[in-house]
Amino acid sequence: MLMSFVTRVPETGVRPRRLGAIGHQIILTAIGLTHSTALLHPVEAALPATQNATTFVNATDESRIQFVHNSPATQDRHTHLAFGSGIGWVDFDHDDLPDLYAAQGVAFKPKRSPNPNLASDCLYRNLGDGRFEDISKVCGLNDNDYSMGLSVGDFDNDGFQDIHVTNFGRNRLLSNNGDGTFTEIAAASGVADTDFGASCTWVDLNDDGSLDLFVVNYVKLDANDYELCTLEYKGKRHGITCHPRSLLPTRDVLFRSHGDGQFSDATLQAGMQRSPAAQGLGVLATDLDADGDIDVYVANDSVANDLWINQGDGQLRNEAMLSGTAFNRAGRREAGMGAVVGDVDGDGLPDLFVTNYYGETNTLYRNEAAGLFLDVTDEFGLGSSSRLKLGFGTSLFDFDNDGWLDLFVANGHVHDRREINGRDEPFAQRPQLFKNHGGRRFTDVSDSGGLYFQRHVVGRSCAVADYDRDGWQDLAVGHLNSSLVLLHNQTHDTQMNSLRIELVGVRSNRSAIGAVVNVRIGENQLTRFRVGSSGYLSCDEGCLTIGVGTFGTPVDVTVRWPGGESQTYRSLQTGRRHVLIQGRQPMQ
């Protein structure tokens, strides 16, 4: 009877009813198989896997991107200076070439007045030949606060992508004017939150066709009233980055769109006060329980994570405990940094991956359906490889186009003085690249990933895009107080194919954030999710590049648009870009 309860059924893709993540875990523990794969029946690979080594080449110099993150540590080790800033891909000029936005830090000074000579966030325009041009001043960027996270979405449905940026200070909303410039309208639109913002995401929570804004806040810290932490070493007190639980958390904020460019704070109206404030860092939003509306997951630092399940009536209910996503499989809280969503095992359901602190493991929560998740980190080979790393940024993307989502993790510590902290935990750490083997297991392939993966760096943010439109996804990585790196994917196995899907909502939000895309590959199916933010403080390209392996014939694509409307597009050729407009068929 137990075997019928836990066995997976790959032949039909249908899962038997389960007791759920918590009940499942209790039974496995009772019979001594908690850390065993004995009861896990892997789905057979639907697509042939490539044996070619994946190689990423550092193309930063060639691209002419010269962004250096500015976050000099103080003697007091002010906490926010250790967190870095996000990066995001945004096609701001609508030329089908993803441009790169890099959020910038700033040296700490209390009671600092605006200084136009300070470094601001940067926007690099994609020239289409592998090179980028810094147009930050031309397009009107002048944010001199310490910028943290960003999310890209067309909030006013005018066809041009806008950018929201969180800050240690007042947040910014950059409205795209459609002429190559932006206007900052956070105060005018009602989203000028002044708490210590971390990640953020655009998401249409009430399916009215207008994007709402979910902002994750970290802790109560103010430049003029800053709590500091110290540690004694050799008879003297030294400043250290504060433990998150020693600081007062601040509540995340939901800004509801009125549909006219104006927003109002709907945090209390949505019922979010029923859950305690937490030290939030990472956020993602998609339909996690398959009920047709969008839910929000928040990775919290050293306290229970949040899973805000959309009740469909304007209310959000925190079901992290019930779902199995609040803690790891042992019931322990972890220090969540970045969070990303994707179907890693090919069953069509969104799984969650969260990066965590040194000495913990990163955590893979497999979706068991009906809003329940199970921590399968060890079974998928991601436990031991992450325990002696401190993960921040992370991306799920198919780097070898074999149809299975692979994994990147940017690593780096928050403490830079080992002797004071009394632990042999390196500040700079190697980044990691993991290959997905048929939805069954990940293996660390960093050694064959290119020279960048041999370096020890202080990694923070990362974001994915096929920036040169060659059909292979590339990776931008941000580092604390150091240069941004652009990694060009040069795997290029000629047998592997992909197609590019750009979604345009009509009745739903124009960016189609919240849509689910299914690609039929023979008798099998690939599932991808259109989201408004990714990983840690960052945002991937909105256009979806979907690897289909050696399958080179036309494919059928079904889109479940935000709001639940489903539409199938027949015989789309691989190796091409397809613009799918809600309610219309693509032009052949």
User: Does 69 score more than 60 pLDDT?
Assistant: yes
State residue 441's pLDDT score: 98
In the numeric block, the tokens 């397009």 are attached to 139
On whether the CB atoms of residues 192 and 265 are closer than 8 A, the answer is: no
pLDDT for the residue numbered 447: 96
Segment 495-515, tens digit of pLDDT: 999 999 999 999 999 999 999
Contact 90, 152 (CB under 8 A): yes
- Which residue, 419, 408, 417, is CA-closest to 386? 408
- Are the beta carbons of 165 and 175 closer than 8 angstroms? no
- Residue 557 confidence (pLDDT) above 60: yes
The residues near 247 (Cβ < 8 Å, ≥ 6 apart) are 79, 219, 220, 221, 227, 279
- Please determine, for residue 24, whether its predicted confidence score (pLDDT) is greater than 80: no
CA gap 42, 125 in Å, rounded: 43
Q: Assign 63 a pLDDT band (cuts: 50, 70, 90).
A: very high
pLDDT computed for residue 421 by the predictor:
79
Residue corresponding to tokens 């469909």: 312
367 in Cβ contact with 348 (< 8 Å): no
Stretch 76-98: mean pLDDT: 97
The identity of residue 62, as a single letter, is E
Query: pLDDT of 339-372, one tens digit each?
Result: 999 999 999 999 999 999 999 999 999 999 999 9
CB 528 within 8 A of CB 517: yes
Tell how strand 229-233 and strand 197-203 pair up.
Answer: unpaired
Segments in 452-518 forming alpha helices (H): none
- Extract the tokens encoding 237: 């007190």
Q: How far is CA 413 from CA 210, 279, 410, 417, 456, in A?
A: 38, 18, 10, 10, 11
DSSP 369-422: ETTEEEE-TTTTT-SHHHHTS-EEEEEEE-TT-SSS-EEEEEEB-S---HHHHT
- Please say if the pLDDT value at position 570 is more than 50: yes
Take residue 39 and report the two structure tokens written for it.
């009861």
Please give the pLDDT value at position 111: 65
Q: What is the pLDDT of residue 586?
A: 76
Mean pLDDT across 532-539: 98
110 has a pLDDT exceeding 50 = yes
User: Would you state the structure tokens that stand for residue 73, as one six-digit string?
Assistant: 């540590």
Characterize the bridge pairing of strands 497-504 and 577-581: parallel
Say which DSSP state 80 is in. G
pLDDT score of 588 = 56
Residue 132: Cβ within 10 Å count:
25
Residue 84 pLDDT > 80, yes or no? yes
Read off the DSSP letter of residue 575.
Answer: T
The pLDDT assigned to 112 comes to 58
Interval 108-115 mean pLDDT: 68
Average pLDDT, the chain: 90
φ/ψ of 363, rounded to 5, equals -130, 130
pLDDT at 18 over 50: no
Question: Which residues contact residue 277 at a Cβ distance below 8 angstroms, ignoring those fewer than 6 apart?
Answer: 217, 249, 250, 251, 252
Average pLDDT over residues 425-446: 97
pLDDT tens digits for range 37-57: 332 333 333 344 444 567 999
Question: What three-state secondary structure class fits 136?
Answer: helix
Contact between 233 and 531 (Cβ < 8 Å) = no
According to DSSP, the residues that pair with 90 across neighbouring strands are 99
Query: What is the pLDDT confidence band of residue 493, given thresholds at 50, 70 and 90?
Result: confident
Query: What residues have CB less than 8 Å from 146, skipping those under 6 apart?
Result: 71, 80, 81, 85, 104, 105, 106, 108, 167, 168, 169
pLDDT in the model for residue 109: 83
DSSP helix/strand/coil, 50? coil
Average pLDDT estimate for 518-539 = 95
